[in-house]
Amino acid sequence: MKYFLLFILLSVINGQDDLLDYFDDDSEAPVPVEAAFKGTRVVNAQSLEIPRPQIFQFMIQHRFGAIENGFYDLFGMDDASIRFDLQYGFTDRLSLGIGRSTLNKTYDLLVKAKLLRQMSGPKGFPVSVLWFSNLGINTQRKAESDPAVKDAFANRLSYAHQFIIGRKFNNILTLEILPTLIHRNLVPTKDDKHDLLSIGVAGRWKLTNRFSINSDYFLPSGKRDGNFQNGWAIGMDIETGGHVFQIMLTNARGSYEGAYIEEATGKLAEGTVYLGFNISRVFSLAGSDSPRW
Amino acid sequence: MKRTTRTWLILVLLPAAIFGKDIFLTRSGSIEFFSSAPVEDIKAINKQVSCVLDMETGELAFQAPIRGFMFKNALMQEHFNENYMESDKFPKAVFKGKIDHWSNTAIADTAIDVSLSGSLTIHGVTRAITETGQIWHEGELIKGTSAFDITVADYDIEIPKVVRNNIAKIVRVDIAVQLKKK
């Protein structure tokens, strides 16, 4: 009898008093971590994001002139160096794009793919790994005295290859590193190397749901020529619906990889740094929902 | 049967008989929501909705994983989770309540109107609600539907001014479940 009462007591305690207990809690199942960054660029550097499937993203990367002349040219605003970028998300892992820069009248074709995705939860895969490559085509008219370029189209080409390895630590902090190889088919002097290795670090600190502070920095491996400066940028993201607006200060004039990683020359102390902005707009081919549903 | 065995059988079965409940449930119910604003209409559907109904008491509960809402536009879905619902912090929406006047409710082959009351938790905010729904039998199944409006601001979900023409202040929610006996 003693046991009987005890058993009833236990049953009452164990009984599913709360209907919610009937739901298995499988919300812990790992899912891909989304929105590590607002945009596909951190500032200059490639972020862990690509346009979502069936989404066209058009971006204008605008860099003003150097701020060194102060109010005379309103901190460089009379001058502009632009890159247009059109990118399309084919799947949630693959995007292709094309860009065109003022700097050296360079076209670039790019591929950016998510090889591994960070998964949520303690058991999830801890980082995302992306592969980025581009082919740059310098289309500037070259003088007759520049026979190397005139002679072969191949001399106009350059390549960038990157792995982007990063982690969204929480809703606030995302960090990534970018081992980078840049290959130029034609170099200015024979002392210059065709293959340049560097490593980038980049991150964002999200202050509100729609605002974050971002930065990136590239550290070269091996020797560079005298004018070379390590490329850096600091900026902020402002998101409004389908737009991401990024405002920055950087020491690089161009917005393709070869330019902001290997051709940055600006020095903060001398004022040869540039204000700029990226503005992106997305267009969904899937369309928004028609009013007739 | 030996006496001890019989005692054990009673010990095991009796509490089960007393406390076992007549439970109907599903894990694949659907919730659809519609936002209709001047610039665009937005729709999302969630087919991972759990629902449980206690046939003895009329007590009822729903649970929906917020990340289960699927949008046509993937970017909208990301914004929904990141900027509005904050799904990392508030991964699910939960309703817990009862069907009012349960003892007078006779579920039949044809739908009858019922009133549901209880607490709805969205985005970490819990509010008491009373809404109407319909319930009916179909073979072994019990089916239920409900449609009502949710005022987004009631649940501390902020809509910035720049998108106020894109996102409605009040969204319509359609719920449909097919419950099976547990």
Confidence of residue A293 (pLDDT cuts 50, 70, 90): very low
C-alpha to C-alpha distances, B21 to A173, B88, B157, nearest whole angstrom: 47, 34, 37
Chain A residue nearest residue B72, CA to CA: A286
A5 at the B interface (CB within 8 A)? no
Give B137's contacts (C-beta < 8 A, 6+ positions apart): B107, B108, B109, B143
Measured between beta carbons, the chain A residues lying within 8 angstroms of B166 are 241
Q: What is the pTM for the complete model shown?
A: 0.80
CB A194 within 8 A of CB A207: no
Q: Do A7 and B11 touch (CB under 8 A)?
A: yes
Q: Nearest chain B Cα to A241, which residue?
A: B163
Of A22, A34, A241, the CB nearest to B163: A241
Residue matched to tokens 């290859």: A161
Nearest CA in chain B to A2: B11
Verify whether the Cβ–Cβ distance B73 to A284 is below 8 Å. yes
Q: Are A23 and B63 in contact (CB under 8 A)?
A: yes
Flag whether pLDDT at A289 surpasses 60: no
Print the SS3 string covering A174-194: EEEEEEEEEEECCCCCCCCCC
B168: left (phi over 0), alpha (psi -120 to 50) or beta: beta
pLDDT attached to residue A142: 76
| A9 inside 8 A of chain B by CB | no
A98 versus A287: the higher-pLDDT residue is: A98
Whole-number Å distance between alpha carbons of A235 and A64: 14
**Confidence at residue A290, expressed as pLDDT on a 0 to 100 scale:** 42
Residues 6+ apart with CB under 8 A from B154: B125, B127
Rounded to whole angstroms, how far apart are CA atoms A71 and A83?
25
Provide φ and ψ at A173, rounded to 5°.
-110, 130
Q: Which two tokens stand for residue A76?
A: 């460089």
Q: How confident is the model at residue B75 (pLDDT cuts 50, 70, 90)?
A: confident
User: Closest approach of chain B CAs to the CA of A267, in angstroms?
Assistant: 37
Q: Is the dihedral of CA A107, A176, A262, A159 positive or negative?
A: negative
Asked if residue A199 lies in contact with residue A179, where contact means CB atoms within 8 angstroms, the answer is yes
The model's pLDDT over A78-135, given as tens digits with 9 standing for 90+, comes to 889 999 999 999 999 999 999 999 988 999 999 999 999 999 888 889 999 999 999 9
CB contact under 8 A, B18 and A11: yes
* Measured distance CA(A247)–CA(A275) in Å, rounded: 8
**What does the alpha-carbon distance between residue A17 and residue A285 come to, in Å, rounded to a whole number?**
48
Among B42, B163, B182, select the one facing A288 at the smallest CB separation: B42
Mean pLDDT of A207-225: 92
CB-based contact B63 A23, cutoff 8 Å: yes
* Nearest CB to A35; choose among B14, B78, B94: B78
Single-letter amino acid, residue B27: R
